[in-house]
Structure formats: C-alpha cells, structure tokens
C-alpha cells in the first residue's frame, strides 16, 4: 500500500484528475492515500498546520457521488492551502496564534479550487504573516525540507512546498510577497510561478501586502501549474489590482512552442553585497546551454537593476501592519513581529502609497530591460538552503540579514509586478535541489511557462523524489 500510495501521489494533479475522470481511482482513494502519507511523513516535515481528514473524506465522497456531467478539471483531487488563505470553518492563523475564530467562507482562490472539483485536505505552515523566507513559527514549529530534513524548505510557503515535494499532495496554494512561492520551490525542487500582479484574486482582502503579494500554486510540473492557473486566474470587484486577461487558456497555451526567443542571463543579484553560491551560477550556465540547444538566442547581460529597497520596505511594513490590525489578539503576536510593527508604525499610510507609486516607476524602468530580450534568466536564491533554525533567537535585524541572500533575486519582481518562475535545474553536491528563475515581461506568463515546459521536457525533473518519502 505504501508503494501504491507513493506512485499515486507523485503523479501530479493533472494525472490524478484524469484517473478520477476515467474511473481508475476514486476521489476517496486519492484522499486516503494522501492522508496515509501525511500520517507517515508529516511528523518529520511539519508541512501541515492542520489536516482536515474527516472533512476531506466527506468532500471526496460527495465528489464521487456527483454526476459525471459538469465535473470540473480538478474533480476529486486533494490540494493543500497555505494558512494565510481563508478556508471555511477553519481559523486563518497567518502562522501565529493571534486568531482563534473560524472564518465563515472560503477565500476566492479556495472557492475557485472547490468549484473546479478539488478537495481541500489541510492548511500548511508558514512564518507569522509570511515575513521570512524560512518556515519557522513560535506557534506551529518548523517546516523541514524533504530532501534533507536538517535544512529549510524556504518560505514563506515552505509548508506548501514540503507537502508537494514529499508527495503528500499533488499541489498546494502559496503566496508570494517577496519570493515566497519561488524560494520554497527552488529549495524543494518544484515549479513555482509568481504570476503577474492582479492575476489571481486576493479576496476577501483587497490586496496581499499591497502591490507586492500574489497567490499561486506550487506544483511538480509546468502543466500542473498551467492547469491550476486556468482555474485560479481572475479577480473580483474587491481586488485592488487586476491583470490584463490571458487571451488563451493556460494549458492550451503550452500546445504552441514559444519560437526562437531572446533570453538574457545574469548571475548579478538585484540586492547589492550578496554573492551567489557557485553551484547556483553553475546551474545558470547549464541552463544557458540547454536553452541554446533548444534554439533560443541566449546572451549574457548586465542588468541595471533599479533600487527597490524603499518601495519594498514601505509595503512590507504596511502589509504586516494591516494584517496585524485584523487579528483578534495582537498581544499574542511573536516578539519579532512586534518589532516589525514598531518599525511599521514609523511608516505612515501615505508612505506606503508613495512606495506603490515608486514601484510602478521602477516597473517602467524594468520594462525597458525587456526591449532587447523576451525573458531574463537568473538564479532564484543566492545561498543554499540553510539549516533549520535560521530564526531561533533572531531579532528583527538578524532575521532581515539572514533573509537577504534568499530574496536577492526575487523581491524586485514583486515590487514591479512582473511574472517570474522558479524552474528546477538538477541537484547540488549537497543532494538538495538547484533552480533558476525565468522573468517575463508584464502580463507575459505564457512565455515563461512555454520555455519552462521546454526545459522540463529536455531534462525531466518531476520524476525526482526525495529519498525520505519515496516509499
């Protein structure tokens, strides 16, 4: 049964949905396989804050009882949700203990998952308010990397990444306000696309850290990501930002090759004073060779990155302050979060709005980089995944310093809103995954997905499984 569960859960969501659709497996069987793997492996991983076992079983049974006509593209597939997104009947903890009342309704992203037939199996761990690229919480413990449980899975969507990488679920929702989808995807060997700002609804909230944050999935394959964005893409009247609609379906877009693209590459970080690990530079160069073999025009560039520190910091402070103001027991926030709030009180709302406008100006400058190239290729993170405990005993300034190498390539694109993805690039000598980042023009996730799909076909990564959990 353990081996059968592994084979089933590592299939990914597109294949799992096909198995349910063709009657080869039931939704209840999928959910039971996921629950058995969660029971077996999550005590060592800390990926889940809460597992909704009985609710998921009931939801799976209801899916199996539905008529075949009108079933959605994710019918019967178990999916996990990061604990900053509302799931009806559950507390949205934001990684802490300052909330204790269950919410009445799903967030819009979760509502869309259920409308497509998905089964919500649990909520995944995160650092409080998603502030850090390490998934460590005073309240809910530490998430561990399935490739090496002494190492971090990254953050802040580290619980979601660990769950997918370990084959506990086929996909999980995360959020990205400074790299929080791409960083854990890179650490755990997954595909993670931060979409264009305003692509996926943040409702019932008008925004996620103002202009910085987006919602999106972590998956084992590019096709799974495209399938999920077919379901998730779209906003509501309450969303502050809305992206230009994609003209074709996301999965359908992958049917058309990208053609010969101009791809610039650089190992230069967008944050001064950070040096990339040599193996990350090596993965970048190996990807350059692969892209050239695929027929693309790939050239080294020296990007003149704009300084995004001020607009990022203003919105980071404003975002944490807004989320903290909405919790029920602010006195129960972590000490480090209270330090963030002390800093945030020095940043008035007018400064946050100025930061948003400054970010738009920087986006215009970044757009000019793409007049001579279609995509930009960089590392995702500068450092290898740290040992767990990066935040142990760390005050605000220490936590910020330890975070810099993790966000040195990612946070700029949150400020500008451009789509960017973490694409797996093999394994390092430490046995942990390597990755590269593909950045696209504004509203051009399709080119990012198409090239990522080419790389996936040229060097398949979805078949790779962490040794700990491949049983």
Nearest to 281 by CA among 408, 382, 406: 382
**Encoded tokens for 248:** 């074709």
Do 110 and 173 contact (CB within 8 A), yes or no? yes
The residue annotated as part of the active site, out of 180, 201, 221, 447, is: 180
Examine the residue annotation and report whether 82 is marked as an active-site residue of this protein: yes
Nearest to 337 by CA among 80, 136, 101, 60: 136
Do 60 and 68 contact (CB within 8 A), yes or no? no
Do 390 and 251 contact (CB within 8 A), yes or no? no
The CA–CA distances, whole Å, from 360 to 198, 266, 363, 414 equal 14, 23, 5, 11
Examine the residue annotation and report whether 156 is marked as an active-site residue of this protein: yes
Nearest to 457 by CA among 299, 185, 254: 254
Where do the H-state alpha helices sit in 116-214? 158-165, 182-188
- Kindly report the CA angle at 165 between 123 and 187, in degrees rounded to 5? 100
The residue annotated as part of the active site, out of 27, 82, 107, 194, is: 82
- 223 vs 252: CA distance, rounded Å: 10
The residue annotated as part of the active site, out of 27, 107, 137, 156, is: 156
Task: Kindly list the catalytic residues.
Answer: 82, 156, 180
């Amino acid at each position: 049964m353990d081996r059968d569960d592994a084979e089933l859960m590592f299939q990914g969501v597109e294949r799992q949905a096909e198995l349910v659709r063709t009657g080869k497996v039931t939704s209840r069987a999928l959910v039971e396989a996921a629950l058995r793997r969660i029971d077996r492996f999550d005590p060592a991983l800390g990926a889940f804050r809460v597992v909704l076992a009985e609710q998921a079983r009931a939801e799976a049974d209801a899916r199996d009882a539905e008529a075949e006509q009108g079933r959605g593209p994710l019918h019967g597939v178990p999916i996990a949700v990061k604990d900053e997104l509302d799931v009806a009947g559950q507390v949205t903890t934001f990684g802490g203990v300052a909330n204790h009342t269950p919410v009445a309704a799903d967030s819009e992203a979760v509502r869309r998952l259920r409308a497509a037939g998905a089964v919500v199996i649990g909520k995944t761990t995160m650092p409080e308010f998603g502030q850090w690229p390490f998934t460590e919480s005073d309240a809910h413990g530490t998430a561990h990397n399935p490739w090496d449980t002494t190492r971090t899975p990254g953050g802040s969507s580290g619980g979601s990444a660990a769950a997918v990488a370990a084959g506990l679920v086929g996909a999980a929702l995360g959020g990205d306000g400074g790299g929080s989808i791409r960083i854990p995807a890179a650490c755990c060997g997954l595909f993670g696309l931060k979409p264009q700002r305003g692509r996926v609804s943040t409702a019932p909230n008008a925004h996620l850290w103002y202009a910085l944050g987006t919602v999106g999935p972590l998956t084992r394959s590019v096709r799974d990501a495209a399938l999920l964005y077919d379901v998730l893409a779209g906003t509501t009247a309450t969303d502050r930002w809305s992206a230009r609609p994609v003209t074709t379906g996301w999965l359908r877009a992958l049917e058309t090759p990208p053609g010969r693209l101009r791809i610039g590459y650089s190992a230069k970080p967008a944050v001064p004073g950070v040096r990339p690990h040599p193996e990350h530079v090596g993965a970048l160069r190996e990807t350059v060779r692969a892209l050239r073999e695929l027929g693309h025009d790939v050239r080294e560039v020296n990007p003149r990155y704009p300084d995004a520190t001020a607009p990022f910091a203003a919105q980071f402070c404003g975002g944490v302050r807004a989320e903290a103001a909405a919790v029920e027991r602010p006195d129960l926030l972590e000490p480090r979060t209270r330090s963030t709030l002390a800093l945030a009180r020095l940043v008035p709302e007018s400064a946050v709005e100025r930061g948003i406008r400054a970010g738009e100006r920087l986006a215009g400058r970044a757009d000019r980089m793409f007049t001579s190239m279609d995509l930009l290729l960089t590392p995702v993170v500068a450092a290898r995944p740290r040992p767990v405990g990066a935040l142990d005993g760390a005050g605000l300034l220490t936590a910020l310093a330890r975070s810099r190498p993790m966000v040195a390539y990612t946070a700029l694109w949150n400020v500008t809103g451009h789509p960017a993805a973490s694409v797996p690039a093999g394994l390092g000598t430490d046995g942990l995954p390597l990755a590269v980042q593909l950045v696209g023009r504004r509203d051009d996730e399709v080119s990012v997905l198409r090239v990522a799909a080419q790389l996936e076909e040229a060097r398949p990564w979805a078949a790779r499984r962490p040794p700990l959990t491949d049983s």
